[in-house]
Structure 1
Amino acid sequence: MSTPDPQVIADAVELACRAPSVHNSQPWHWVADDRSLKLFLATHRVPHATDVTGREAVISCGAVLDHLRVAMAAAGWRGSISRLPNPNDPSHLATVEFSPASFVTEADRDRADAILTRRTDRLPFAAPPDWGAFEAVLRTTIDSEQAILHVLPASVRPQLAEASRLTESLRRYDSAYHAELQWWTADYEVSEGVPLSNLVSVAERERLDVARVFPAGEQSDRRPEIQHDQSAIVVLSTWGDTRRDALGCGEVLSEVLLEATLAGLATCTLTHMTELEASREVVRELTGAQDCPQVLIRIGSLPPPAQTPPATPRRPLADVLDVRR
């Protein structure tokens, strides 16, 4: 049986690690051997004051797993994924084995290119054009067995904004949480965390009704022509709330973000409203379903000329990939 060249694996892992993660913590570790590529949760990298149960870190690992699948498909390899293969090691999230693809499509290459152009954009968005058509494409693209897609109607936006404010209010005096936010938004260039250039200023925050409140950025007031955020907001939910559910939700999150990027839309992943049960219950009620909300996504468009934020830093490949031959 043929196996990918080690450099192909290395290049794909490096591209996959452009995946989003909670506070850009990148809580993953890859191990490659002669037969497979294994994904592990790096538990020491979980921001525990924010992500008390580690659920968001597993969602992040699901996103990097799907990004890896996309990157390898563009390189001519199909991945067969075994999820949570070792019951004695819950940090071992997946094992991927590869077989040669018969053909690499333009769609495969475009999706891999979208990994490089995708950004987490925390600024206000204009309304996404032709949302109905995009939603239809999205529903045919994602794996509905891994996560359920709910599109929240504009009529519930006030309740959603109230849930966002409730989350911040409940954490107002949580010193560990705020200390952690400060740490992950350090004002110097590192290989992790959220740079100040990617954060919103106080003025920009006034035009965002649904967002995590990070320390204020240094910019003044970008996109002033957008008076208030007009994004569509979707919720990814799962029927259960296990580690397996979180991993699958992360894979679908990757699918949604890349599909939006291919459509020329901007995205921002939101998890603060599913971290505390009070606000998570509000989100559940707004979806009208009895499932488990895992992550929300703002999806919108940008005014011309496109003003995308800079790419956030990533850890060196040597820190995230071990090769054992």
Structure 2
Amino acid sequence: MSDTVVETEVISDAVQLACRAPSLHNSQPWRWVADDRGLHLFLDRSRLMYSADRSGREAVISCGAVLDHLRVALAAAGWEAHVDRLPDPNHHDHLATVTVTPMDYVTEEHRRRADAILLRRTDRLPMAPAPDWESFERLMRARLADVHADLHADVLADEARAQLAETAHLTEALRLYDSSYHAELSWWTAPFEGGEGIPQSSLVSAAESERVDVGRTFPVTHGAERRPTVGEDRATVVVLSTDGDDRLDALRAGEAMSAVLLEATMAGLGTCIVTHVTELESSRRIIGGLLDRDARPQVLIRIGLAPSLEAVPPPTPRRALQDVLRFG
């Protein structure tokens, strides 16, 4: 890659780890091409969701998350990533080109952050409040400053929580008769084996869903109700927003989302990305009105504490490496 020779195995391992990044309905809308100029990230249009994500904004956010995951994976392997975002103005789906240089040393924090990629799970169950939130928030903001200094992270106050919950319910109501949206959602949560979609083990029952006031309504599962001692969801909601609303803003928002998720995982906290309230422009405007600044909300994240003794759900499936990475 460029003037630095990197073994194919290093690139393959880094991309495979990076592809553990979260994406809308686990659609994994990315593809990678490695050549002598670098490692290139492209939006895979064949994997867009035309009902939930008509503009493709969330797909680009997902690609931003996989880009940050790649940077973390490379650092743990001893390589510093240099990212050129949107390198080709004539090719909008070419989102980034990554070149690398060797690092002087790999720290324990580099390794822990890469380990967090494998430990992270989307937790749709109700969570308890995060202990010592102030300390975590300081860590989160410091990490975001490293990733994207112009991105805003607002922690919603308790009084805004009720308005946020109303907006979440409004969004679901507006889609009640949207048959294409529900068909798309059902397809991505169908109980089949594969390398994509949301497995049944990651879904919640109707009773569990009712205890989470800010969450997407998925097809429900059946079984014993989990976390009865937690009660109603007490997770903190963080809103990531940008001043602008173009493709670069969405990409950088995805990188920041990745940074927050991994920082929370390293702190022993559970996370759940909330995107349905920003998929419709009407509800997105309402969320924007809850912020203290004129900004465009990109994604919301619930961050809380899950009981430490409960069983950890299996990781969600991922596409095979040969389906997402090509050496040119």
Q: TM-score, normalised by structure 2?
A: 0.97
Q: 1:239 aligns with which of 224, 240, 243?
A: 243
| Aligned twin of 1:111 | 113
1:190 Cα deviation from its structure 2 partner: 1.2
Structure 2 counterpart SS, 1:173:
coil
Question: How far apart, in 2, do the equivalents of 1:206 and 1:273 lie?
Answer: 17
**One-letter amino acid of the counterpart of residue 320, structure 2:** P
Q: What is the match of residue 302 of structure 2? A: 298
**Could you tell me how far apart the structure 1 residues matched to 2:53 and 2:244 are?**
18
RMSD of aligned C-alpha atoms?
A: 1.0
Establish whether residue 227 from structure 1 lines up as the match of residue 212 from structure 2: no
Q: Does 1:312 align with 2:316?
A: yes
After TM superposition, give the deviation of residue 304 of structure 1 in Å: 3.0
Matched residue, 2:91: 89
Q: Do 1:198 and 1:217's aligned partners in 2 also have CA atoms closer than 8 Å?
A: no
**Structure 2 counterpart of 1:221, one-letter code:** E
1:219 deviation in Å?
3.2
Contact 2:148-2:252 within 8 A present in 1 as well:
no
Give the match for residue 34 of structure 2: 32
Q: For residues 249-305 of structure 1, give each alpha carbon's deviation from its aligned partner in whole angstroms, at most 9, with x where no partner exists.
A: 000000000000000000000100001112111111111221000000000001231
Write the deviation string for residues 59-99 of structure 1: whole angstroms up to 9, x where unpaired.
00000000000000000101110000001110000000011
Matches within 5 A, 1:14-53: 14-53=16-55
Match for 1:153: what amino acid?
Answer: A
1:146 shift after superposition: 4.5
Question: Cα distance, 1:144 vs. partner?
Answer: 4.1
Where in structure 2 are the equivalents of 1:278-293 lying within 5 Å? 278-293=282-297
> Secondary structure of the residue that 1:166 maps to in structure 2?
helix
Shift of 1:35: 3.3
The alignment status of 1:277 with 2:278, answered yes or no, reads no
Q: Which runs of 5+ in 1 are unaligned?
A: none
CA contact (8 A) 2:208 2:226 kept: yes
Structure 2 unaligned regions, length at least 5: none
Letter in 1 for 2:19: C
Query: Residue in 1 aligned with 2:209?
Result: 205
Runs of 4+ in 1 over 2 A off after TM superposition: 143-146, 306-309
Corresponding letter in the other structure for 1:230: R
Q: Deviations over 1:144-179 (max 9, x none)?
A: 425210000112111110000000000000000000
- Corresponding position of 1:71: 73
Which AA in structure 1 matches 2:262? Answer: L
What residue in structure 2 maps to residue 170 of structure 1? 174
- AA paired with 1:125? M
User: What is the rounded CA distance, in whole Å, between the counterparts of 1:43 and 1:5 in structure 2?
Assistant: 29
What letter corresponds to residue 161 of structure 2 in structure 1? R
Q: 1:250 aligns with which of 254, 265, 275?
A: 254
User: 2: CA distance between counterparts of 1:290 and 1:309?
Assistant: 39
Shift of 1:306: 4.0
- Which of 40, 59, 62 is matched with 2:61 structurally? 59
Question: 1:46–1:262: structure 2 CA closer, same or farther, 3 Å change rule?
Answer: same
Deviates more, 1:50-59 or 1:150-159: 150-159
1:99 aligns with 2:71: no
Report SS of the residue matched to 2:290: helix
User: Equivalents in 2 of 1:315, 1:138: separation in Å?
Assistant: 30
Name the CA distance, whole Å, in 1 between partners of 2:281 and 2:15. Answer: 34
Decide whether the 8 Å contact of 2:171 with 2:277 is kept in 1.
yes
Partner of 1:287, secondary structure, is coil
Letter in 2 for 1:50: A
Q: Is contact 2:130–2:305 with CA below 8 Å preserved after alignment?
A: yes
Q: Percent identity?
A: 57
Judging changes above 3 Å, is the alpha-carbon distance between structure 1 residues 244 and 287 closer, same or farther for their aligned structure 2 residues? Answer: same
Amino acid at match of 1:26: Q
